[in-house]
């Protein structure tokens, strides 16, 4: 289990992380969500010791994060990047060796992962010759080929086609089922809702919500109505039964007013729309996210800026004065091959693939 206890980090006048406490257990998927500037990337960098906290502490199974523990962490950075002029298999074996794996074992493990992701025939290709999707899979292999106990994934589904998303989703579930702690940050609410056992939502450096998926939904009641329909979606606007609506061309999620009933809404809409599905449910994670962080910020589907908590107009402010010795200045976090090599330990089989496949 990895735990953050009252962890804080400041850059200049900006409180990027403010007394954050959370815990991710072994055998679960923990999602860290939040809008741009919420402090997610800074939190991950603190967990990896790229930054040192100004206050609080981080532990793994009750022990402070040390070099030995960092070698038990696998990290998929949002900023992808492996050595582009080197052969794919050679790079992955090299990175596994940096984490303490002997060359023979590294070759075996990397070979299994390449075959699993359909990259076996590209093993001798240079990394720079791979497509974006292939490069993403290669970066994932670099993060997990050493069989880490903790897997930290920053936007793991970004840039993947639907088939690759499903393959990676199955892999993440297998990592969880094999007893690993999977900690991932994402802007994609439906992926988080389908995968996470527990989650936390951050905004402006602070924790605004945490708990299991069922706990989070129970806290927000069951006044959400979801419908699928054919017809003019504009009839859903400004209805007396509804306090809020998220509208798409053929789908909508609405929040009922306290005095309204779902049956009354259905009766009112039936003459105006051809309704194929009408359900009263706990609100979606997307709805909860909007309720907790508001609609005034950036979209939850935007890419992370990494400027956690910086006020508008202050994006260019240098924070190097607050970076401790050995830390990267803000916005210069180790990434790619260097980041992957910095946070993992040797290991074995891809999430128990030998036993499962």
Which pLDDT score is estimated for 295?
53
pLDDT-based confidence at residue 36 (cuts at 50, 70, 90): confident
CA distance 4 to 43: 9
pLDDT in tens, 228-284: 999 988 889 889 999 889 888 889 999 888 888 899 999 999 999 999 999 888 888
Degrees to nearest 5, angle at CA 339 with 137 and 41: 90
Q: Which SS3 state, helix, strand or coil, does residue 90 take?
A: helix
As given in the structure block, the two tokens for residue 208 are: 């605004």
| Cα atoms in the Cβ-side hemisphere of radius 13 Å centred on 45 | 28
Percent of the chain with pLDDT over 90: 50
38-86 tens-digit pLDDT: 899 999 999 999 999 999 999 998 898 888 888 889 999 988 778 999 9
Quote the CA–CA distance of 200 and 4 in Å, as a whole number. Answer: 12
Three-state secondary-structure class, residue 328: coil
CB contact at 8 A, 315 and 307: yes
pLDDT in tens, 83-142: 999 999 999 999 988 888 889 999 999 999 999 999 999 999 999 999 888 999 999 999
Res 20 pLDDT > 90 = yes
- Look at residue 188 and tell me whether its pLDDT is greater than 90: no
Helices 132-144 & 88-98, crossing angle to 10 degrees?
A: 30
Q: Map out the domains of the chain with their CATH numbers.
A: 2-217+300-349 (3.40.50.300), 222-281 (3.30.70)
What are 278-304's pLDDT values in tens digits?
A: 988 888 888 888 888 875 444 333 333
Contact 77, 241 (CB under 8 A): no
Tokens 């017809």 belong to residue: 231
- The Cα-based distances of 87 to 14, 124, 298, 336 in angstroms read 42, 5, 39, 15
Mean pLDDT of the chain: 81
> CB–CB of 273/254 below 8 Å?
no
Q: Rounded to whole angstroms, how far apart are CA atoms 279 and 16?
A: 40
Instruction: Name the nearest CA neighbour of 138 among 151, 127, 152, 129.
Output: 127
User: Does 173 score more than 90 pLDDT?
Assistant: yes
Asked whether the beta carbons of 32 and 200 are under 8 A apart, the reply is yes
């Amino acid at each position: 289990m990895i735990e953050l206890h009252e962890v804080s980090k400041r850059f200049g006048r900006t409180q990027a992380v403010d007394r954050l406490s959370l815990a991710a257990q072994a055998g679960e998927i923990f999602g860290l969500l939040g809008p741009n500037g919420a402090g997610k990337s800074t939190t991950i960098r603190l967990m990896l010791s790229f930054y040192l906290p100004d206050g609080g502490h981080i532990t793994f199974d009750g022990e402070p994060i040390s070099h030995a523990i960092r070698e038990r962490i696998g990290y998929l950075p949002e900023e992808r990047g492996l050595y582009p002029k080197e052969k794919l298999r050679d790079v992955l074996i090299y990175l596994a060796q940096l984490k303490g794996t002997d060359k023979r074992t590294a070759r075996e493990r990397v070979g299994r992962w390449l075959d699993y992701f359909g990259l076996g025939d590209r093993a001798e290709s240079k990394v720079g010759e791979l497509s974006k999707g292939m490069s993403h899979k290669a970066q994932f292999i670099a993060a997990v080929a050493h069989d880490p106990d903790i897997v930290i994934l920053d936007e793991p589904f970004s840039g993947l086609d639907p088939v690759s998303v499903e393959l990676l989703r199955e892999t993440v579930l297998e990592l969880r089922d094999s007893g690993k702690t999977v900690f991932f940050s994402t802007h994609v609410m439906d992926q988080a809702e389908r995968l996470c056992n527990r989650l936390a939502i951050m905004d402006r450096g602070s924790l605004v919500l945490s708990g299991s998926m069922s706990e989070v939904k129970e806290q927000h009641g069951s006044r959400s109505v979801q419908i699928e329909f054919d017809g003019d979606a504009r009839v859903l606007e400004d209805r007396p039964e509804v306090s809020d609506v998220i509208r798409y061309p053929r789908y909508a999620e609405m929040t009922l007013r306290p005095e309204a009933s779902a049956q009354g809404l259905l009766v009112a809409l039936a003459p105006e729309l051809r309704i194929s599905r009408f359900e009263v449910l706990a609100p979606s994670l997307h709805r909860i996210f909007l309720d907790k962080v508001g609609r005034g910020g950036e979209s939850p589907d935007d890419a992370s800026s990494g400027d956690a908590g910086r006020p508008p107009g202050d994006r260019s402010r240098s924070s190097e004065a607050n970076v401790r010795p050995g830390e990267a200045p803000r916005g210069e976090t180790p990434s790619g091959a260097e980041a992957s090599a910095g946070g993992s330990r040797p290991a074995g089989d891809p999430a128990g693939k030998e036993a499962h496949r």
